Amino acid sequence: MPKAAAAANLMLCLFLLVLTFFEISTADNYVRPPPRQTLHFDFRSKSSSKLPQQVHISLAGNNYMRVSWVTTDKSSPSTVEYGKSPGEYSSIAEGETTSYKYLFYKSGTIHHSVIGPLEPNSIYYYRCGGQGPEFQLKTPPSKFPITFAVAGDMGQTGWTKSTLDHIGQCNYDVHMLPGDLSYANYLQHRWDSFGELVQPLASARPWMVTEGNHEEESIPLLKDGFESYNARWKMPFEESGSSSNLYYSFEVAGVHAIMLGSYADYEEDSDQYSWLKADLLKVDRKRTPWLLALFHVPWYNSNTAHQREGDRMMSAMEPLLYAAGADIVLAGHVHAYERSKRVYQGKSDPCGAVHITIGDGGNQEGLANKYKDPVPEWSVFREASFGHGELKMVNSSHAFWSWHRNDDDEPVRSDQVWITSLVSSGCVDMKNYELKEKLVAP
């Protein structure tokens, strides 16, 4: 090729490159920061210790809290001493232990101890196993307002740390996590390091979690699924009439939250389906005007990642949630953020739920950057960035949702909306006949 032609070609390439860069910059004025490394932890110094590790708490029925922790020493007692003044423990609770083996890995002793009854909106000081450091927790309020922090698909990278730091700065009462916690991916010590990473937050406010695909860790003929998850992250399934830790519900301060299992059977003949019907029938909208649902695989998703993976669960269960008047549905799995209008059966519906995908906690797999075009009619806001959500139920009729993008280590509020409850808009009363038909009919 003559030199002049080669130079022209080079100029053309440079021009196209600049044009592409300009188009990208103007199409999206947010400059996305690069991925961050997986964090590393050294556990050798903690071998054979009675000291509590990986302390986290979760709601366990009205005015009760489950305290969970791990010791490497088997003889450490499962007691939790607690009280309302530092160092003065007026009450003590005795708990239970479990452990599991996974190929060449043997877990430490996992303790679960339920404390209470506790007063609402109060600080308690507690100590696990009769020794070690004192922890501090705050119980949620008994009435509005109440604030939830929400982030799914956490993992344990520099971005996870950033998300956790931002959540720690927010004034919230309960953390809700719609699946994919540790990204241990069969390496069981990564469950331990995840427990340590989240302890500062999870020992202070209840963490209510449901399972994602990364919790399964099944091995054909060798291991059933969810063994590590169920042993470590025991949720109040028995307290809510469920037979499985993979789906349950809880109530707090005027909110009924249903934590469904995207990886448990959900068809009409399944236990989960029957349990959901029974649970919805128990909801008293005078006591809990807000009805939330959380699960891992989103039903409304315009990202190209995990397209239509939630369709089967949606066709089985969306009619039940709609009939019951579910206000907000939170999901993860897609590593990005998206918020919908109120929707039902794929279309805007003033009596449907607002669906929010918030699988952007910061895991090592990175972000899901590609979206379907054109934007579906129901999609209001979508962006592939790490971050977390905050949901403040202000009163029985109004809630304020905001999404906070991790922008160079500063939490920047990037999406926000006031949501009006279906109770206050009349949808729940309007659908009473439908609710009975769907939920009571065999």
Contact positions vs Fe ion (CB under 5 A): 180, 212-213, 333
Q: How far is the CB of 182 from Fe ion (least distance, A)?
A: 12
Nearer to Fe ion, 108 or 212 (CB): 212
3-state secondary structure labels for all residues of 193-234? HHHHHHHHHHCCCCEEECCCHHHCCCECCCECCCHHHHHHCC
**Tokens 């423990």 found at:** 89
CA atoms of 326 and 351, how far apart (whole Å): 9
> Which helix (H) or strand (E) covers residue 337, if one does?
strand 337-344
Clarify whether 306 is annotated catalytic.
yes
Q: How far is the CB of 353 from Fe ion (least distance, A)?
A: 21
Nearest to 50 by CA among 122, 111, 98: 111
Nearest to 283 by CA among 329, 335, 240, 230: 240
Q: How far is the CB of 152 from Fe ion (least distance, A)?
A: 8
Q: Which residue is nearest to Fe ion (CB)?
A: 333
Q: How far is the CB of 155 from Fe ion (least distance, A)?
A: 10
Nearer to Fe ion, 212 or 376 (CB): 212
CA atoms of 207 and 202, how far apart (whole Å): 6
Collect all residues with Cβ–Cβ distance below 8 Å to 381 and sequence separation of at least 6.
337, 338, 339, 403, 415
Nearer to Fe ion, 333 or 404 (CB): 333
**Tokens 């399944």 found at:** 270
CA distances 325 to 22, 113, 400, 418, Å, are: 46, 34, 18, 18
**Tokens 């501090």 found at:** 136
CA atoms of 396 and 423, how far apart (whole Å): 8
Nearer to Fe ion, 158 or 298 (CB): 298
Nearest to 28 by CA among 334, 365, 385, 388: 385
Report the first-to-last Cα separation within the chain, whole angstroms: 78
Report CA Rg, the chain.
Answer: 23
Catalytic annotation, pick one of 306, 355, 388, 404: 306
Nearer to Fe ion, 333 or 342 (CB): 333
CA atoms of 259 and 321, how far apart (whole Å): 12
Helix (H, G, I), strand (E, B) or coil at 324: helix
**Cβ-count burial of 64 within 10 angstroms (0-12 exposed, 13-18 middle, 19+ buried)?**
middle
Q: How far is the CB of 217 from Fe ion (least distance, A)?
A: 13
Q: How far is the CB of 264 from Fe ion (least distance, A)?
A: 15
DSSP assignment letter at 41 = -
Nearer to Fe ion, 183 or 250 (CB): 183
Nearer to Fe ion, 155 or 236 (CB): 155
222-227 contacts at long range (C-beta below 8 A, 24 or more positions apart): 222/103, 223/102, 225/263, 226/263, 227/100, 227/102
Nearest to 389 by CA among 178, 88, 190: 178
Nearer to Fe ion, 236 or 298 (CB): 298
Helix (H, G, I), strand (E, B) or coil at 264: coil
Nearer to Fe ion, 139 or 213 (CB): 213
Q: How far is the CB of 298 from Fe ion (least distance, A)?
A: 10
CA atoms of 108 and 161, how far apart (whole Å): 24
Q: How far is the CB of 216 from Fe ion (least distance, A)?
A: 10
Q: How far is the CB of 333 from Fe ion (least distance, A)?
A: 4
Q: Which residues are catalytic?
A: 306
